[in-house]
Structures are given as C-alpha cells and as structure tokens.
Amino acid sequence: MVAETNESMVAGSSSENILEVRDLSVRFPIVEGPDVFAVRDFNLAVKPGEFVGLMGEPGCGKSTAAMSFLGLVRPPGVIETGQINFAGDDILKMDEETVRQMRGRDIGMIVQNPRYSLHPMMRVGDQIANVYRAHNDVGKREAWEHAVSMLRMVGINDPERRVKAYAHELSSGMAQRVLIAIALSSQPKLLIADEPTSGLDVTIQAQFLDQMWDSCRQASSAVVLVTQDLGIVANYCDRVVIMHEGTIVEDADVYTFFESPQHEYSRRILQLQREAQEAGDAVLGKIDRTAPPILEVKDMSKLFPIRGSESKVHAVEHADFELRPGECLGLVGESGSGKTTIGRCVLRLVEPTQGEIVFQERNIAEIRPNEFRKFRGDLQIVFQDPLDSLNPRWTVHQVLSEPLKLHTNLSPEEKEQRISELLNLVGLEPSMRFALPREMSAGRQQRASIARAIASNPDFIVLDEPTSALTPETTAEIIQLLMDLSAKLGIAYLFISHDLTTVKYICHRVVVLYLGQIVEVGTKDQVFNQPRHPYSRALLSSHLFPDTANRRVDREVRETLEGEIPSPITENLPKGCYLYGRCPSQVDKCRDLPQELTKLDDGRSVRCWRVAEGDLPDEPAAH
C-alpha cells in the first residue's frame, strides 16, 4: 500500500517535484559476511517549499539516504541502483564537477554538531562569503556584505561584529545559525538537515527551527529534515516519511500520520507514548499530601570556585522544595540551569555550599562523609548515559551484587535470589545476568542501571535525565518501567530532565529552574497548562510536543526568548531579575529588583514580582 502511494506520487507529479528519488539502493560491502543494504528500493518525491520529516530508529538508513541526495555516500558504501532527479536531472548521471557546483548552490546541507562543522581558523563571515563566491560571480566586498545580511537574516544580534568571529567564539546555538546561514546563502532549492538540533536546548531549538522555517518558506526552499524527534515532526513538517530497515514504510501527511499511523513501527512509537501517558495518569494522584515530606531541601546553594579568580559559578541559588513519599517531582530547565547540580547535591555527590537537606527528618547535609555512606542505600541515582555509568568490566551480576553487599546482610543464596528478583523487576532476561554493559542494548543498560539503584530498597531516587540518551521507543519503555516501580515499591523520584514530554507523563509536581534559581513550582497541570512565570511560559511554548493540534508554525504568536542563557558567573549575573534582557514582559523595575519566590493563592510559587502582584495578565498558554 505504501509503495502504491509512492508510485502514484512519483508518476503523477514528475515535473513539479524539486527532488525525485527512484529505486535508490545504497550498498555497504562487509568484509566478513554478506553485503548490507543501508538503503534499498527508496522512492521519494519532494515538492518545492515542502517540509519533509525523515524519521526512523537509529541505523534505519535515514542519514545515508539523506546524504545520497547530494550524491554522497560514506565509504565504503556505494550507490547501487536508482535515480536521484533534482529539478528533472539525474544527479547520479552528472559528472562530479557539475554535482559539486550544485552542492551548496542548489542543495544545501546542515549537519549535526555545529561546532565541528565550522572551520576553526576562519572567520564565519569568510566561510559564508566563500560559499557565496564559489557559486556566484561577485567580488569579495559584496560577498562580505552578503554574509552580514545572511547573519542578520538568521537572527544573530550585532551581525557586523559577529561576522568577524571565529567558531570557538560562538555558542552552539549561534554556530548552528551560522551553519544555516551558510546553507541558505545562495538560496538553495533544497535543504537537507540531518538532526540539526540534537544537543540544543529547547528555546534555542525553537529559535533555530523557526528561523529555518521562515527562511525556507520565504525562498520556497524544500527541506528534508532527518530526525528522531516526534515533536519536531509534529510542529514543523508537512509530511512524514518513516524508514525502517532501509526502506520507506510510511509516507503520509503529518496530520494523517499522527491520527492514524499505518506501519507497525509508527504505531508502536506513537502508542508507546500514549501508553506511557495513560499509565502515568493511573499512577498519578495517589500521593498523600498530608504525609510528612520524605525530602526537604531548604535554602540550598552551590557555588563552584573558579581557579585563579575571585568570582564563582553560581550553579544553584537558594533552592527550596520538598518531596512526599511516592511522589515524582520534575526538575526542568535548560542546560546550565543547575538541575543536575541540585540532584548531585541532594545525594551529596557534590557538597552543597550552604543549606539543609532534610531526608526522613534528618539533616543529611551535616553528616560526615564517611558516615553518610551508610545512608546511600536509601538515596539512589540513575544516570543519564547508561553505558558510561556502568563499570565496563563488570557483568550485570557484579553490578547488582555491590549494593547488596554494602547495604544488606543477605546470605550468598539470598543474594542470588534477590538478583534474579531485581532482573525480573526491571524486565531484564535471566540470560543478561552475566552480560557486560557493552553487550547489551542501551535500553537494557539503563534497566541494569535502574536495577542497581533499587537493589538496596531506597525510598528516594534521583533520575538524572534517565532517558535522554535513548531512542523515543526505548524512552517510552523506560518511563513506563519507572512508573511501575514507583507504584510497586513506593519510591519517590526527583526527575531531572530537559525533555518536557517525559516530565509531563511521569511527574506530579514540577520545578522550573533558570540560571540556578527556582522560578516556578507547581503541580503538573498548573505548570503545563497555565505557566505563570515568563520563563516557564517561553520554555513550554518552545517545547515541541508531539501533537499536531497546536503546531508551532500555525501559532500567531510564537513565544520565545531572545538570546541565550548567560553563564552563571558572579559578575555576569544580572542585578535584579535573572531573566532581565530576555524576558518578553520585562519593565524597567525588573532590572534592579532582586526577585523572591512568592507563594500564590493557587498553591504554586513564582519568582516574578509582576506575577505575584497580579501585574502580569494571565493569558492562557499554548499548552
């Protein structure tokens, strides 16, 4: 059925398509064993100005396919068969020089990892100008001016100054925008973007994608966006193409795709997300609010000294929050907001500079480090990168034995039994018992890591971005597992994440952090449906939920923040409100008035005087 849609599309509109790929196969010869086809029987047609999302699990061949649109294949791969018709001409039949001319001029490319893609010893202006001059017959001066205007177009402040900057002087968000400026500098008819925003923060990601969307719509350039993120696809793409095992298994309009996915893989990723949400709703709401908090953090700060300098890095400032037994508290914010440091401080993996951490009615911040080791069985952590957090030389069995040895008095037989029980709890097959971390998939590694955390029967676990290194599919499974465990064992979670989608599934309450300060605390519904603090509002508006009902590109007002997070060094910090300079609702008073976390009538707390005094109108937010 899928093949039919493809063929009809290709046959019916051959003249008006900017890109037409027919029966493309890319072969990778393997030294031992049969050759591998990373892409096979691939058919795709893209109309001018169309945004196509190319999705699929890692290793499905999506990047290889996207590269081949430029006539490029990573060695030792070879394009075995097929046609790649760009504006009617087959790229594969052209000579290398002609194709080279077309790359950059007619077909632009944006790759992952902006910093490594820029020349480290060349000013960015020269890099843009070079591309422009390579394809247009213009002088140096004119090309330089073009570079300045390109930088202005992609939304870089002060382009006259930035055009002289080198790659290392730019933040990653800015570097990414320079790349898009290079890619768009000669107005290509087709832009290929291979996970352009992986590793960027949500507000920067939204700025970037907005920019790309606007620029491309203006020039009616077509875009092929390779991604794993359902949110990006739902919010920006017109069409979704799903790849599986090297072939296209689904090619649908974005609305149709989210309503009724056809292929089994598409259904699975969408369904897993839905299930996670439903299971989350089932577990949520069972919290006894009258019970004494299991964890109370009072006025905790962490300042890191900087070598050879008086100033300090203000990672966390005056954090106050509490957690009830069985509750899941979400800690959200962009990179550099101090969320990871809070998690480390609570477990005293990093010693807080000041403040109290009351765990089960005892201030654990005061306990001597050597004595605190005994308490570690009750407070555990699951790390972000599962492979990195497991000792590479230890089998699952060894990993799980360690906490049992340190925190329990089980006999050897009981230990073996407990390990089997743990494996079963986290859904690891018994055959994984003696596997090494690198022999397992990322999902299983994270399960092993979770098993280690629950081995000593903790009452509280810090989940430090436990799903950010995983594919969407595995993420949904791990989230479900975590919720099951919480329901079965009554563990309280501090869930640290920059991915608001997962936070939305699993958390009861949410803490929003900005520059080391808590700016808003509230229940999930309060924060997600009606954020009050300007930062929370921008953050939520920037986050791309996998939902086509309220696409970002369709919104009249796209709330976003100007610029980027300043680095939290003493002299860099604003005197008044930390958001001053980026805030869309700022007034002059905000500049000098330090902000206090104020409790509102509806139970939430907000660090913004305008909200506290009812000065800021409470409009319904996007989500």
Asked if 307 touches other proteins (CB under 8 A), the answer is no
**What CA–CA distance (Å, rounded) separates 405 from 397?**
12
Nearest Cα neighbor of 190 from 20, 5, 6, 10 is 20
Report the SS3 class of residue 28: strand
**Alpha carbon distance, N-terminus to C-terminus of the chain:** 36
Near other proteins by CB under 8 A, which window of 114-122, 324-332, 437-445, 610-618? 437-445
Near other proteins by CB under 8 A, which window of 170-178, 287-295, 299-307, 449-457? 449-457
**What CA–CA distance (Å, rounded) separates 235 from 232?**
5
Based on CB atoms, which residue is closest to other proteins, 142 or 275? Answer: 275
Asked if 403 touches other proteins (CB under 8 A), the answer is yes
Q: How far is the CB of 100 from other proteins (least distance, A)?
A: 26
Sorted by sequence, the CB contacts under 8 Å of residue 357 that are 6+ apart come out as 295, 296, 297, 298, 300, 345, 346, 348, 363, 364, 365
Based on CB atoms, which residue is closest to other proteins, 61 or 108? Answer: 61
Asked if 41 touches other proteins (CB under 8 A), the answer is no
Which residue type occupies 212?
M
Based on CB atoms, which residue is closest to other proteins, 278 or 525? Answer: 278
Buried b / exposed e over 542-557, threshold 16 CB at 10 Å, is bbbbbebeebbeeeee
Query: Which of 424, 550, 567, 570: binder of other proteins (CB under 8 A)?
Result: 424
Strand pairing report for 295-305 and 379-382: unpaired
Token duo for residue 252: 């649908």
Treating both helix axes as pointing N-terminal to C-terminal, what angle do 172-184 and 124-135 enclose, rounded to 10 degrees?
10
CB 6 within 8 A of CB 248: yes
Based on CB atoms, which residue is closest to other proteins, 406 or 549? Answer: 406
Token duo for residue 18: 């900017």
Query: Which of 17, 85, 203, 380: binder of other proteins (CB under 8 A)?
Result: 380
Asked if 438 touches other proteins (CB under 8 A), the answer is yes
Near other proteins by CB under 8 A, which window of 82-90, 114-122, 428-436, 608-616? 428-436
Asked if 24 touches other proteins (CB under 8 A), the answer is no
Contact code string over 56-75 relative to other proteins, x by CB under 8 A: --xxxx-xx-----------
Q: What is the DSSP letter of 257?
A: H
Place of tokens 């229940």: 523
**Binding residues among 357-376 for other proteins as defined by CB under 8 A:** 370, 373-374, 376
Q: How far is the CB of 76 from other proteins (least distance, A)?
A: 10
**Binding residues among 470-489 for other proteins as defined by CB under 8 A:** 477, 480-481, 483-485, 487
Place of tokens 């005061």: 366
The residues that touch other proteins, with contacts defined as CB under 8 A, are 28, 30, 34, 36-38, 58-61, 63-64, 245-246, 275, 278-279, 282-283, 286, 347, 349, 370, 373-374, 376-377, 380-381, 383-385, 388-393, 402-403, 406-407, 424-427, 429, 431, 436, 438-441, 443-444, 449, 452, 456, 477, 480-481, 483-485, 487
